[in-house]
């Protein structure tokens, strides 16, 4: 696998979503057409797609279905991966019920919460007491985790995840997690993102 810059990687799901929304009778698509539709530069699009196994043809472009398959392959959508959620408040519960993860081959298998009143089932998926988290991660072989706890609990959860060998964390808690270099974290601080937007209005 070629080393892909994170900015290119972030655009791959955007191409994927766009290509999937096109009508079935669109067989081929050029990098220029993709670039125009997404308001991006053509060279950038071609560069990004070159990281995937997709190959375009001069004057024809990419076969749309092959390009979709190539991006999906690159993103690992075809290899099933299990993920767990920590924190079963409003956000955690919403994510547990969200169907969109399947498109990427990701199965959210369970949520954990310290509050036993929150334990039970949502969308057929279990919310389990936090004291069983280690065991649950081991049994499900989860390699991805989402932290949707309050900020005050997030670092403790991250430490537990690291000790269980989880190597990728999507963090909604508004704190910067301290993890070893072997673990990747992406921060999704919703309020901070809205604040960033609002600073454009000033």
Measure Cα distances from 78 to 69, 103, 141 in Å.
9, 9, 17
Nearer to its own copies, 66 or 107 (CB): 107
Q: Contact with its own copies (CB under 8 A): which of 146, 147, 157, 158?
A: 146
135 part of the interface to its own copies, by CB under 8 A:
no
Q: Facing residues of 186 across strands?
A: 170
Q: What is the DSSP string of 102-114?
A: GGGTEEEEEEEES
- The footprint of its own copies on residues 30-89 (CB under 8 A) is 38-39, 74-77, 79, 81, 83, 89
Q: What is the rounded CA–CA span in Å between residue 130 and residue 2? A: 39
What's the closest the beta carbon of residue 32 comes to its own copies, in angstroms? 17
Count of residues touching its own copies (by CB under 8 A): 63
The CB-of-1 to its own copies minimum distance in angstroms stands at 7
Give the nearer residue to its own copies in terms of CB position, either 38 or 44: 38
Could you tell me the CA-to-CA distances from 199 to 190, 194, 196 in Å, in that order?
14, 9, 5
From the list 70, 106, 110, 111, which residue makes contact with its own copies (rule: CB under 8 A)?
Answer: 106
End-to-end CA distance of the chain: 43
Question: Nearer Cβ to its own copies, position 106 or 128?
Answer: 106
Least Cα distance to 14 among 46, 44, 38 occurs for: 38
Min dist CB 54 to its own copies, Å, is 15
Toward its own copies, which CB reaches closer, 128 or 173?
A: 173
């Amino acid at each position: 696998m070629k080393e892909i810059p994170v900015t290119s990687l972030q655009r791959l799901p955007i191409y994927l979503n766009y290509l999937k929304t096109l009508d079935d009778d669109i067989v081929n698509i050029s990098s220029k057409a993709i670039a125009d539709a997404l308001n991006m530069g053509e060279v950038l699009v071609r560069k990004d797609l070159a990281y995937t196994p997709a190959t375009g043809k001069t004057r024809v472009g990419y076969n749309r279905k092959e390009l979709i398959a190539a991006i999906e392959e690159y993103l690992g959508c075809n290899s099933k991966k299990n993920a767990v959620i920590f924190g079963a408040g409003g956000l955690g519960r919403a994510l547990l019920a969200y169907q969109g993860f399947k498109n990427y081959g990701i199965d959210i298998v369970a949520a954990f919460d310290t509050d036993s009143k929150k334990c039970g089932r949502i969308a057929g998926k279990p919310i389990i007491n936090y004291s069983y988290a280690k065991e649950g991660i081991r049994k499900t072989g989860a390699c991805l985790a989402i932290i949707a706890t309050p900020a005050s609990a997030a670092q403790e959860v991250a430490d537990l995840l690291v000790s269980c060998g989880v190597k990728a964390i999507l963090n909604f808690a508004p704190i910067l997690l301290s993890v070893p270099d072997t673990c990747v974290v992406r921060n999704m601080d919703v309020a901070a993102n809205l604040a960033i937007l609002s600073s454009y209005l000033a």
